[in-house]
């Protein structure tokens, strides 16, 4: 039995997230069906993490095991022919048996895109916010995130997680041009809905609805109801998984 890593991207618009759902379309199920059909055996793939409904991935990794021998370039080509246009496979590489797409990952990096004026070409993959935002203050708040470990305040309620501790390595707002920005955050792990809740709370800072001290108190209280609203999923991208 040989283990392989598969690297791919997807537009999450038409999917109910990465993970297989009982009655809804998922990226995981779509890819498993394609791999199983081509390799002519039941294939189970394990992803580097879970993305929520409507969230995208520029760079995602997963692993699968098989005894079948294949030409990886031909398999990549066959998968890209069979899969829908919103999923693209980049590469398949053999790895050691102890490599795990989820547990071997050392970090994940996300970007959340916003634009501050009406833009017909950004609406599908960016969030329109047409009110003044203090990005300097938002970056001060973003740097505060790296000084904490417990992010329970940004975790979706009623989720079965053993710990809300995360090691945030980087968090900053980056300007693309006069009207477009993205928030980039990198951590060893993320809680469900965490990035969109963080962005919503940072936007409250940028609108001067809460101060930096109040932002700290939101993190320290660990209560999701104290944090900002969860931002729309269409503007969130998983951009890198590190091993």
Active site residues: 52
Q: How many CB atoms lie within 10 A of CB 184?
A: 17
Residue whose token pair is 């993320």: 190
Crossing angle of helices 135-145/194-206, nearest 10°? 140
Counting DSSP H helices and E strands in the chain, the numbers are 5, 9
Tell me how far apart the alpha carbons of residues 141 and 242 are, in angstroms, rounded to a whole number. 25
| Beta-carbon contacts of residue 33 (< 8 Å; ≥ 6 apart) | none
- Contact (Cβ atoms closer than 8 angstroms) between residue 188 and residue 49: no
Q: Cα–Cα–Cα angle for 211, 152, 181, nearest 5°?
A: 55
Structure token pair of residue 155? 């975790």
Longest pairwise C-alpha distance within the chain: 59
Give the containing element (helix H, strand E) for 150: none
């Amino acid at each position: 039995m040989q283990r392989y890593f598969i690297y791919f991207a997807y537009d999450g618009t038409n999917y109910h997230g990465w993970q297989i759902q009982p009655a809804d379309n998922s990226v995981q199920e779509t890819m498993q069906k394609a791999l199983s059909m081509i390799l002519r055996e039941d294939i189970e793939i394990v992803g580097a993490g879970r993305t929520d409904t409507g969230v995208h991935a520029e760079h995602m990794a997963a692993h699968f095991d098989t005894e079948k021998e294949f030409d990886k370039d031909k398999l990549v080509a066959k998968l890209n022919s069979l899969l829908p246009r919103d999923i693209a496979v980049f590469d398949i590489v053999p790895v050691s048996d102890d490599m795990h797409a989820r547990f071997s990952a050392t970090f994940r990096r996300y970007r959340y895109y916003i634009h501050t004026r009406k833009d017909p070409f950004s609406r599908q993959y960016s969030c329109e916010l047409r009110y003044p935002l203090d990005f300097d203050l938002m970056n001060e708040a973003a740097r505060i995130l790296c000084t904490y470990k417990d992010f329970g305040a940004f975790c979706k309620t009623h989720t079965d997680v053993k710990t809300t501790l995360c090691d945030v390595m980087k968090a900053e707002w980056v300007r693309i041009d006069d009207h477009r920005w993205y928030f980039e955050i990198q951590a060893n792990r993320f809680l469900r809905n965490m990035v969109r809740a963080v962005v919503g709370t940072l936007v409250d800072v940028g609108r001067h609805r809460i101060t930096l001290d109040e932002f700290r108190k939101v993190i320290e209280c660990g209560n999701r109801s104290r944090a900002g609203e969860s931002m729309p999923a269409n503007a969130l991208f998983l951009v890198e998984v590190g091993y």
